[in-house]
């Protein structure tokens, strides 16, 4: 069956432009892009007043399967992805067991196939059990489908292990995604600063991230491996990455909607949904992260979707797990905070949500052109809505954005030519 997406504004970061166009989808691929297309018998998706963009790719999510299915599963997480406008996600390996064997990688891929929702690209563990000692059989993980390597959830404490990991990843032609926190400094439950002092909570200084980023940049330069820095949160990290890029180091970086929107003040009231690693920082850090997004230092926006069950979060602040959900609020936050906020234009925003993560992971995606796989997201930039944790479709509801008023909502998520979502419930426009 053919699908005609009619009357939308196409945002094409690969060509660096936006233009009015109909799009004809046939056999799961983009068949034509023309101002006016007539296709008798085709199913029509009215995109008037909406943006049609290459399918969004979230390169940092925790799907929790295998092992922690009470928090999320591949099926529930990819449903949340589709609701958030994402056609693909990269799944971090800190499951139980850790994705440190080809069997776990294949298991996740099989679950994704069964679910039939967003595409899932598994990330393989760098070290056995992500314990930071022996490297995994990286070649075998790659052959099973891993698109990158990471011990996310934990830093790789040993610089020698990191060096070897980068050398192997380089041979395999895939990036290492680094969770940059120096463990000797990252001992707190929130950012170390005025707010942590006032609340009497133990803090982790910005230096914990800066030190780890500096080390990994030096090792990336030494090994020539592509380093991707996960969840950048500090002014220092942005500055170090900017300088390294200028020197020609193979580094890319991501930040998250919570880190470009919230500060450590979100923790006031001991809000465990604002407890996350790396922690929410200061106004100056948020400003630096936004500058990094604007000038291209930060290539990617990823959610670090980290579901935790209510009973796990509803405990004393010190005891709550780190992490918050992000798949279903990302588009709204990017459009409200960054596009309406004047930080990014439409093309740059879509690049950071699609074209750039595709490039980082080496996926042939993130483009809209005849012949390309029809992974497309239709966004209603004018839809105003209020985040309601009760309306999230993912299994866990640990969002710090409950009650936020946002403008910008995914209208349809199209994967391989199949329409997976046409707008959610009532929105106030
Ligand atoms: N970000 C978090 O606070 N938590 C993540 C792990 C991680 O991304 O480091 C998780 O898996 O819960
Ligand atoms: Zn992490
Ligand atoms: Zn993570």
Q: pLDDT for 254-274, tens place per residue?
A: 999 999 999 999 999 999 999
| Closest atom of ligand 1 to CA, residue 62 | 11
Q: Would you call 304 a catalytic residue per the annotation?
A: yes
What is the tens place of the pLDDT at every residue in 184-195?
A: 999 999 999 999
Is residue 257 within 8 A of residue 329, CB to CB? The reply is: yes
Return binding residues.
Answer: 60, 62-64, 94, 152, 179, 231, 277, 304, 308, 322-323
Q: Output the CA 303–ligand 3 centroid distance in Å.
A: 8
Closest residue to atom 7 of ligand 1, CA basis: 153
Rounded CA Rg of the chain: 20
Q: Measured in angstroms, how far is the CA atom of residue 60 from the centroid of ligand 2?
A: 9
The catalytic residue among 304, 345, 380, 388 is 304
Supply the pLDDT for residue 421.
79
Q: For domain 55-361, give the fold.
A: TIM Barrel (3.20.20)
93 alpha carbon to ligand 3 midpoint, in Å?
A: 9
Q: What is the pLDDT of the chain when averaged over all its residues? A: 97
- The residue with tokens 């450590």 is 264
Residue ranges at the known binding site for Zn(2+): 60, 62, 152, 179, 231, 304
Give me the tens of pLDDT residue by residue for the chain, a chain 429 residues long.
899 999 999 999 999 999 999 999 999 999 999 999 999 999 999 999 999 999 999 999 999 999 999 999 999 999 999 999 999 999 999 999 999 999 999 999 999 999 999 999 999 999 999 999 999 999 999 999 999 999 999 999 999 999 999 999 999 999 999 999 999 999 999 999 999 999 999 999 999 999 999 999 999 999 999 999 999 999 999 999 999 999 999 999 999 999 999 999 999 999 999 999 999 999 999 999 999 999 999 999 999 999 999 999 999 999 999 999 999 999 999 999 999 999 999 999 999 999 999 999 999 999 999 999 999 999 999 999 999 999 999 999 999 999 999 999 999 999 999 999 777 654 554
Q: Which of 73, 74, 150 is nearest to 118 (CA)?
A: 74
Same fold, 3-52+371-422 and 55-361: no
Atom of ligand 1 nearest to the CA of 94: 11
SS3 of 25, please?
A: strand
- Does ligand 1 come within 6 angstroms of the Cβ of 154? no
- Report which of 280, 265, 282 is spatially closest to residue 198, judged by C-alpha positions: 265
Q: Which atom of ligand 1 is closest in space to residue 179's alpha carbon?
A: 9
Domain ranges of the chain: 3-52+371-422, 55-361
pLDDT score recorded for residue 349: 98
Whether residue 277 has its Cβ less than 6 Å from ligand 1: yes
d(CA 362, CA 373): 15
The answer to whether the CB of 94 is under 6 A from ligand 1 is yes
Ligand 1 contact via 304 beta carbon (within 6 Å): yes
Whether this model's pTM surpasses 0.95: yes
- DSSP 8-state secondary structure symbol assigned to residue 12: E
Cα 165 to Cα 90, 129, 144, 225: the distances in Å are: 19, 14, 18, 9
Bridge partners, 6 (sequence order): 46
Beta carbons of 89 and 63 less than 8 angstroms apart:
yes
- Which pLDDT value is given to residue 424? 62
Q: Which ligand is nearest to the CA of 276?
A: 1
The whole-number pLDDT of residue 426 equals: 47
ipTM (interface predicted TM): 0.99
CA distance 47 to 129: 46
Atom of ligand 1 nearest to the CA of 231: 8
CATH of the domain spanning 3-52+371-422, picked from 2.40.50.140, 3.40.50.720, 2.30.40.10, 3.40.50.11540: 2.30.40.10
């Amino acid at each position: 069956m053919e699908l005609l997406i009619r009357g939308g504004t196409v945002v094409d970061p690969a060509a660096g432009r936006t233009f009015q166009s109909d799009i004809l989808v046939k056999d799961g691929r983009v068949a034509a892009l023309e101002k006016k297309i007539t296709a008798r018998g085709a199913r029509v998706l009215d995109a008037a007043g909406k943006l049609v963009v290459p399918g969004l790719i979230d390169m940092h999510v925790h799907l929790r399967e295998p092992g922690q299915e009470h928090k999320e599963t591949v099926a529930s997480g990819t449903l949340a992805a589709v609701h958030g406008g994402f056609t693909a996600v990269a799944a971090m390996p800190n499951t139980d067991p850790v994705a440190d064997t080809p069997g776990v990688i294949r298991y996740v891929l099989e679950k994704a196939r069964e679910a039939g929702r967003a595409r899932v690209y598994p990330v393989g563990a760098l070290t056995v059990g992500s314990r930071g000692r022996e490297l995994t059989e990286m070649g075998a993980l790659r052959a099973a489908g891993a698109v990158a390597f990471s011990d996310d959830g934990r830093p790789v404490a040993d610089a020698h292990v990191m060096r070897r990991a980068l050398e192997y990843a380089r041979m395999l032609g895939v990036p290492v995604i680094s969770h940059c926190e120096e463990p000797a400094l990252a001992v707190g439950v929130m950012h170390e600063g005025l707010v942590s002092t006032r609340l009497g909570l133990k803090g982790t200084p910005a230096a914990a991230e800066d030190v780890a980023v500096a080390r990994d940049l030096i090792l990336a330069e030494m090994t020539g491996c592509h380093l991707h820095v996960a969840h950048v949160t500090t002014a220092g990290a942005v500055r170090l990455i900017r300088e390294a890029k200028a020197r020609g180091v193979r580094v890319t970086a991501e930040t998250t909607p919570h880190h470009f929107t919230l500060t450590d003040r979100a923790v006031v009231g001991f809000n465990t949904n604002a407890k996350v690693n790396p922690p929410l920082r200061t106004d100056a850090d948020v400003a630096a992260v936004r500058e990094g997004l604007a000038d291209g230092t930060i290539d990617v926006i990823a959610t670090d979707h980290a579901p935790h069950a209510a009973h796990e979060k509803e405990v004393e602040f010190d005891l709550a797990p780190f992490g918050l959900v992000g798949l279903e609020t990302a588009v709204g936050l990017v459009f409200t905070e960054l596009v309406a906020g004047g930080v990014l234009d439409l093309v740059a925003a879509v690049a950071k949500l699609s074209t750039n993560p595709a490039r980082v992971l080496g996926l042939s995606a993130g483009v809209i052109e005849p012949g390309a796989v029809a992974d497309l997201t239709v966004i209603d930039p004018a839809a105003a809505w209020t985040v309601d944790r009760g309306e999230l479709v993912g299994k866990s509801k640990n969002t710090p954005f409950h009650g936020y008023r946002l403008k910008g909502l995914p209208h349809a998520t199209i994967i391989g030519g199949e329409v997976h979502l046409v707008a959610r419930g009532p929105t106030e426009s």
